[in-house]
Amino acid sequence: MRGENLSFLKAPKDSAAGRTNPSIDPSGQSASDRAQQRADAGRAAEEQGKTGSPDDGAKNKSRLKAIGSFLRNLLPGPSRANPSITQERAVADFFKKKAKEPAPPRVTLTRADKGHVTPPTYTEVAGAADHMRNAFLEYIAIVRATKEVNLRTCRKIMQTYQRQTEGLLRVLLEEAGAAIYDNDTSQVIAGEMSGSYMAAYSDTCGFVALDKDRTERSGTTTFKTPQGHPTVVTAKCTKIMLDDRILEMASSISGPPDRPAGQGGWAVPSVRWINGVPGCGKTTWVVENFDEEKEVIATTTTEAAKQLKERLRGSLGDRTNTKVRTMASILANGFKANETYYRLTVDEALMNHFGAIVMAARLAGAREVVLVGDVNQLPFLDRENLFTMRYSRPVSVAGITQELLCTRRSPMDVALALSEIYSGIYSSKTALSTVHSLRAEGYTGAQIPAAAQNTLFLVHTQEEKALLIDQGYGAGEGSRTLTIHEAQGLTYDSVIIINTKSRKLAIHNSIPHAVVAVSRHTSSCVYYSDDADDATGRFVRKAMAATTKMVIDYNLKAAIQHRDETLATEELLMTAQAKGVSVALVQEPYVGRTEDLTPETQEAHNITGPQIYTDGSKIEGKVGAAVTWWENGEDTFGLEPHNTVFQSEMYALFRAVKMARESRVASVSILSDSRSSLDLLRSPRLSRSQGQQNPKWAAICAYHTKNTTEHSSNTRWRWDGKEETSRIATAA
């Protein structure tokens, strides 16, 4: 009807054409950044309200008045020694309400502010080349600063051990995941060691490398320590230490970073930015668009590299090891002499600092860089709070050129829950059984299936991960226990998110962590927490509060908006099912002239009961759709002029199904002259026999070729109905 909001029929704006893109704004903020700011502001306002509510103020004033009266009765009269000051005034001053000044915003000093590390010195920006050079300089400053922070951490642990301050040593070892290790006896003196280490800290010469040969021969971890100084510190930060090798590779790049671009310094590759929602098939996009002769792929994790190699092994064979590499491997080792690639594609690109991508592109000699990732999931993290960063994202030199908005992993309720973050996200899953997948439960006393198979257990912190693994979580076949950060990019049928903390941490309010957490599953996801009023809980509650109709309608409208005709058709049929209408697609619809639609033909094609006519029209820049129930009047819709007649006809069919649902007639026929729309409705998911199981079902039929010559009275009635519908659609 007129006035209905049909804005979802309007085509989304094309970022490649220079129009606004909802995923990221001109300042470089993503939708998750903006949502995070709104959430933080809301919590701050809530806290402010708790500390200064009118009710609390009135109660306090009443209490103070009573106490003041009591004290005045106890105190003597005015002091004669100093008549200008009375006990009454003293009491009044004591209980005078002082105006509470708002607390200044809390400023967290970076390590650079404290003088612990050196921030980068940027060059003056005249163009894209200068931005890319500054991104590289910032990344190299991060590598140097991280090395300095790790050195400080290990040095402090060693000094505390040497001073025999046991209490402080225990705290430092636990915080750093560290141990004091005797390299001669291979004994752990204090703390804990697990897994392998690339280096250790020696108080005589700083970081020392692992002696791989001796370690392999002896079977015990052995480092290259100075003679007579076997005691070292191992820590989480010494497990992977590539800083020196990355700095060495950086210095080998032709054209020093401080040389102006105009003097032969920095060529600027073209940048394509493919942004995709969780589960949209970003890795599939990388595989399908891979050019094995001209391209190299960089992944953020070793697991992602392994998966890509498996998918490309059929076409690449042994070359997969050189064509698919981790970003860390490229930065630390570079490429073989004279080995260059036209294109560098970076999977999960935004988990890397943009300066690292610039460096990898220069090492590869790439003239084109393709960034594939999700600006709203977990970005590059400055875990050490080194300094304020300007170039962690590529927004200074590139914008999003293509968006992939259809998630093939997540059920429809996840798409609805994340629609605030991803404008236009929709799901390809169209089975009614997968409409609702998210739910929240309390943690205390919950019977969580720790031994469940093919299940991903997610937690926020490494501490929780270790705790749950010790309790047997993730031990079932095909199951794992990971932190949310570690799980980005993974897919599981079932996901269980567990928050063991009774006190809320900052990470619980992280929007990017919540986005990753609720979008790993294909079938079900349960969030166990005693306080679900956090980022993850809000997404889950939004999904749980939505009815089946709300979820399906949202996805249908998003699919129509993004011109996904196949999914729009499937969800149109699902909408009918959800409304209680079994849609039976006529196996052999009538396609012919109106005058030939005789009573015998109607019976042969099961055209029974009242008829609903649908039509779409576009004339003089206006698009209209119409649905008429010949006995009950008309229903029209004015659509945006961007829309095609096909879209108006599809929406008219959708409304016809709704009209059939709301009627009390057992059998209704819907008639349309849109062959293309009806052809799309021939889905194997619904058969005629399925439709007959429900007494209320709609037979979708088609007929064509207008001809006004010689009609029987019955056929004329139908023809008039079609003519009237066409007239209404044109006028809509």
Q: Among all chains, which residue has been given the structure tokens 């995941």?
A: 177
Q: What is the pLDDT of residues 155-178, one digit of tens each?
A: 999 999 999 999 999 999 999 999
Distance between CA atoms of residues 415 and 405, nearest Å: 10
CA 173, 178, 182, 185 dihedral sign is positive
Pick from 546, 278, 542, 548: which is nearest to 417 by CA?
542
Q: What is the DSSP string of 490-553?
A: --EEEEEEE---SS--GGGG-HHHHHHHTTSEEEEEEEE-S---SHHHHHHHHHHHS-HHHHHH
Q: Among all chains, which residue has been given the structure tokens 């004290």?
A: 71
375 within 8 A of 423, measured Cβ to Cβ = no
Distances (CA, A) of 374 to 37, 204, 371, 509: 19, 45, 10, 19
Lowest mean pLDDT among 60-64, 78-82, 270-274: 78-82
Using CB atoms within 10 A of its CB, is residue 600 exposed (0-12), middle (13-18) or buried (19+)?
exposed
Q: What is the mean pLDDT of residues 310-336?
A: 92
Tally of CB atoms within 10 A around 712: 12
Whether the pLDDT of residue 491 is over 70: the answer is: yes
Whether the pLDDT of residue 470 is over 80: the answer is: yes
Q: According to the model, what pLDDT value does residue 584 have?
A: 53
DSSP-assigned letter for residue 661: H
Token pair of 153, please? 């951490």
Whether the pLDDT of residue 693 is over 60: the answer is: no
Q: Which of 55-59, 150-154, 583-587, 652-656 ranks highest by mean pLDDT?
A: 150-154
Band of residue 524 on the pLDDT scale cut at 50, 70, 90: very high
Q: Could you tell me what percent of the chain has a pLDDT over 70?
A: 65
Exposure on the CB side of residue 69, measured as CA atoms within 13 A: 5
Q: According to the model, what pLDDT value does residue 574 have?
A: 63
372 within 8 A of 345, measured Cβ to Cβ = yes
Category of 102 on φ-ψ map: left (φ > 0), alpha (ψ -120 to 50) or beta:
beta
Q: Which residues contact 310 (CB under 8 A, 6 or more apart)?
A: none
Q: What is the DSSP string of 668-730?
A: EEEEES-HHHHHHT--TTS-HHHHHTSSSEEEEEE------S---HHHHHHHHHHHHHHHHHH
Q: According to the model, what pLDDT value does residue 526 have?
A: 98
Whether the pLDDT of residue 719 is over 90: the answer is: no
Element (H, E) at 299: strand 295-299
Whether the pLDDT of residue 720 is over 60: the answer is: no
Lowest mean pLDDT among 33-47, 416-430, 530-544: 33-47
Whether the pLDDT of residue 585 is over 80: the answer is: no
Band of residue 481 on the pLDDT scale cut at 50, 70, 90: very high
Whether the pLDDT of residue 723 is over 80: the answer is: no
Whether the pLDDT of residue 572 is over 80: the answer is: no
DSSP-assigned letter for residue 203: T
Q: According to the model, what pLDDT value does residue 662 have?
A: 72
Query: Could you tell me how far CA 161 lies from the centroid of its own chain?
Result: 44
362 within 8 A of 252, measured Cβ to Cβ = no
354 within 8 A of 393, measured Cβ to Cβ = yes
Q: What is the mean pLDDT of residues 462-486?
A: 94
Whether the pLDDT of residue 642 is over 80: the answer is: no
Band of residue 685 on the pLDDT scale cut at 50, 70, 90: very low
| Pairing verdict, β 480-483 and 455-459 | parallel
Q: According to the model, what pLDDT value does residue 652 have?
A: 74
Q: According to the model, what pLDDT value does residue 33 have?
A: 76
Q: What mean pLDDT is reported for the chain?
A: 78
Token pair of 145, please? 């600063």
Q: What is the pLDDT of residues 379-397, one digit of tens each?
A: 888 889 999 999 999 999 9
Pick from 125, 394, 119, 118: which is nearest to 266 by CA?
125
Three-class secondary structure of residue 731 per DSSP = helix
Element (H, E) at 201: strand 199-202
| Pairing verdict, β 231-234 and 611-619 | unpaired
Lowest mean pLDDT among 6-10, 75-79, 180-184, 273-277: 75-79
Band of residue 264 on the pLDDT scale cut at 50, 70, 90: very low
Whether the pLDDT of residue 240 is over 50: the answer is: yes
Whether the pLDDT of residue 703 is over 50: the answer is: no
Backbone phi, then psi, for 404, in 5-degree steps? -105, 110
Q: According to the model, what pLDDT value does residue 687 have?
A: 34
Exposure on the CB side of residue 542, measured as CA atoms within 13 A: 18
> What's the CA dihedral at 39, 44, 49, 51 to 10 degrees?
150
CA 555, 560, 562, 563 dihedral sign is positive
| Pairing verdict, β 521-528 and 187-191 | unpaired
Distance between CA atoms of residues 393 and 397, nearest Å: 9
Distance between CA atoms of residues 374 and 344, nearest Å: 18
Token pair of 398, please? 């590139």
Q: What is the mean pLDDT of residues 694-702?
A: 34
Band of residue 680 on the pLDDT scale cut at 50, 70, 90: low
Domains and CATH numbers, the chain: 57-99 (no CATH), 128-244 (no CATH), 267-405 (3.40.50.300), 407-552 (3.40.50.300), 580-731 (3.30.420)
Q: What is the pLDDT of residues 282-306, one digit of tens each?
A: 989 999 999 999 999 999 988 889 9
Whether the pLDDT of residue 725 is over 90: the answer is: no
Exposure on the CB side of residue 288, measured as CA atoms within 13 A: 6
Does the pTM surpass 0.75? The reply is no
- Decide which of 318 and 191 is more confident: 191
- Decide which of 499 and 103 is more confident: 499
Using CB atoms within 10 A of its CB, is residue 238 exposed (0-12), middle (13-18) or buried (19+)?
buried
- Decide which of 175 and 562 is more confident: 175
Token pair of 7, please? 């804005």
Strand order in the sheet with 206-209: 187-191, 179-182, 231-234, 199-202, 206-209
Q: What is the pLDDT of residues 2-58, one digit of tens each?
A: 445 555 555 565 544 444 455 555 456 777 777 777 777 776 766 666 555 555 556
425 within 8 A of 415, measured Cβ to Cβ = yes
Token pair of 674, please? 């849109």
Band of residue 315 on the pLDDT scale cut at 50, 70, 90: confident
Whether the pLDDT of residue 568 is over 50: the answer is: yes
Q: According to the model, what pLDDT value does residue 407 have?
A: 93
Distance between CA atoms of residues 690 and 642, nearest Å: 37
